[in-house]
Amino acid sequence: EREDAAEVHAGAVTTADGVPIEVAANVGHPSELAGAADRGADGIGLFRTEFLFLDRETPPDEDEQYEAYREALRAFPDGRVIVRTLDVGGDKPIPYLDLPEEENPFLGERGIRRSLGADADLFETQLRALLRAAGDAQGGLAVMLPLVATVEEFEAAAERVEAVAAALDGEGIARGAPDLGVMVETPAAVLLAPELAARADFLSIGTNDLAQYVNAAARGDERVADLHDPRHPAVLRAVARTVEAVRGTDAWVGMCGEMAGDPDLTELLVGLGLDELSMSAVTIPDVKARVERTNAADARELAERALRAHTKREVIDLLSQQPDQP
């Protein structure tokens, strides 16, 4: 059945009543690009760039990064490729970066915090490579910032992008002007979603980290694994609040955490109003099939009921009443 689904859903999908949902792939290494295209990804919703920095003694230079971003764009000539800037710290250590020993690495120097601080040089090099690649991509490349918690961080990053653009122009190097987006993976970003959506081109909800921070339970810690379940009402409400903040702005909103790749949650996510879902390529055919079987009006009703739930148990019971359940 999976093979059939992959063939049938090679193009863009809409719900049964015509609401378009972009279904994209999360990619952590270029070796995954061909598989993502084969499984019908519309584009890349999260291109993790840590692979460029791992298993080596020194960081990749601008040209090496430029080539890697071009390779991703070549795999999706008609789709959007969203490249996340380096997201180290927390659970993603890199030896030569000399990361601090921290008592609470998930609450320390991670993601955008390092890019605006200790890794400012790396950030500049990465932005140069990204803007150059965007120049070749006719609008298909976008840049996404991890772990944003404040409007100041977004504005500082946007200023760095402007400075890099001006520098490239001064050197006569061709470049593009990629869309700039924010990963919503902290409760602060949820609460500031209106202000972030007014400034960014898009928001993408990273539920792996968001569930960890909303429920105060370290990801990867088996003893608190239940608290990472995105079906907890607090996590659902955080997602809903983010989506509502984007409505009425020019921005769009997607999801690139593991939650997006669970076909049993597709109807709920459509009902919550997400424009895009990005996931491990393996689940794309099933999620696309679910989107096409979903009625957006029914999905909205399901989402409204789920948002009134008091407990995860109630959410699970609601989901099990979907007609699609096998």
Q: For Mg ion, give the closer residue by CB, 47 or 66.
A: 47
| Beta carbons within 8 Å of 57's beta carbon, 6+ residues apart | 96
- 183 neighbors 84 (Cβ within 8 angstroms): yes
Q: Which of residues 77-96 bind ligand PEP (CB under 6 A)?
A: 87
The C-alpha atoms of residue 140 and residue 6 are separated, in whole angstroms, by 23
**Which residues lie across from 24 on neighbouring strands?**
278
Least distance from ligand PEP to the Cβ atom of residue 250, Å: 24
Written as one string, the DSSP assignment of 268-309 is HHHHHT-SEEEEEGGGHHHHHHHHHH--HHHHHHHHHHHHH-
- Was 208 annotated as part of a binding site? yes
**Biggest CA-to-CA distance, the chain:** 60
Q: For ligand PEP, give the closer residue by CB, 6 or 24.
A: 24
Q: For ligand PEP, give the closer residue by CB, 150 or 208.
A: 208
| Beta carbons within 8 Å of 290's beta carbon, 6+ residues apart | 263, 266, 267, 324
| Beta carbons within 8 Å of 240's beta carbon, 6+ residues apart | 272, 273, 303, 307
Least distance from ligand PEP to the Cβ atom of residue 93, Å: 13
Q: For ligand PEP, give the closer residue by CB, 277 or 289.
A: 277
- Was 305 annotated as part of a binding site? no
Least distance from ligand PEP to the Cβ atom of residue 91, Å: 7
The C-alpha atoms of residue 122 and residue 242 are separated, in whole angstroms, by 30
Q: State the catalytic residues.
A: 256
Could you tell me if residue 111 is left (phi over 0), alpha (psi between -120 and 50 degrees) or otherwise beta?
left
Q: Which of residues 255-314 bind ligand PEP (CB under 6 A)?
A: 256-257
Q: Which of residues 204-223 bind ligand PEP (CB under 6 A)?
A: 206-209
Which of helix, strand or coil describes residue 197?
helix
By CB under 6 A, residue 9 contacts ligand PEP: no
Q: Which of residues 125-154 bind ligand PEP (CB under 6 A)?
A: none
Q: State both tokens at 238.
A: 């955080």
Least distance from Mg ion to the Cβ atom of residue 114, Å: 13
Least distance from Mg ion to the Cβ atom of residue 53, Å: 16
Rule CB under 6 A: choose which of 39, 48, 228, 312 binds ligand PEP: 48
The C-alpha atoms of residue 42 and residue 75 are separated, in whole angstroms, by 11
The C-alpha atoms of residue 134 and residue 64 are separated, in whole angstroms, by 15
Query: Roughly how many angstroms between the first and final C-alpha of the chain, as a whole number?
Result: 14
String of contacts with Mg ion for each residue 174-213, x by CB under 5 A: -----------x--------------------x--x----
Q: For ligand PEP, give the closer residue by CB, 119 or 209.
A: 209
Q: For ligand PEP, give the closer residue by CB, 90 or 271.
A: 90
Written as one string, the DSSP assignment of 22-74 is EEEEEESSGGGHHHHHHTT-SSEEEE--GGGTSSSSS---HHHHHHHHHHHHH
Least distance from ligand PEP to the Cβ atom of residue 271, Å: 20
Binders of ligand PEP: how many residues, by CB under 6 A? 10
The one of ligand PEP, Mg ion, none whose footprint includes residue 281, by CB under 5 to 8 A per kind, is: none
Q: Which residues bind Mg ion (CB under 5 A)?
A: 185, 206, 209
Q: Which residues bind ligand PEP (CB under 6 A)?
A: 46, 48, 87, 185, 206-209, 256-257
